[in-house]
Amino acid sequence: MKLLNFLRRKKRPEIQFMVSQKTADEVQAETGATVNPECIGDVSTATEDDIVICMRLPDSKVFPDNIETVCAKCGAGIYHRPHVPKLAAKMCIRCAIDAIKGADDEQD
């Protein structure tokens, strides 16, 4: 299963991944896969300190209404669902992994 976007709250001491209920429902309807209920959360409170982890182009796009944009860090082509939080930074998975590793290093 390829999850299309997650929200990571980087100002919390623990790493937390969330996906909206709408995205979880779309993934299940399209693929039959389910998202762990512990990962489904309210992403409407996202701020500019949060990250939406996006797939890089030209990976196959499951949903035709995905939004194409560029990674906030490296400028690579990425895509995300139209209902992801507006304020959160959109990053390709490579940059998001680096950001998560960096946040972990800061906490040590």
**Tens of pLDDT, residues 32-77:** 888 888 778 787 778 887 888 888 898 777 788 899 999 999 999 9
Q: Which tops the pLDDT comparison, 95 or 44?
A: 95
Gap between the Cα atoms of 9 and 46, Å rounded: 8
- Amino acid 9: pLDDT: 46
Q: Is the pLDDT of residue 104 over 80?
A: no
| Pairwise CA distance, residues 23 & 107, whole Å | 30
| pTM (2 d.p.) | 0.69
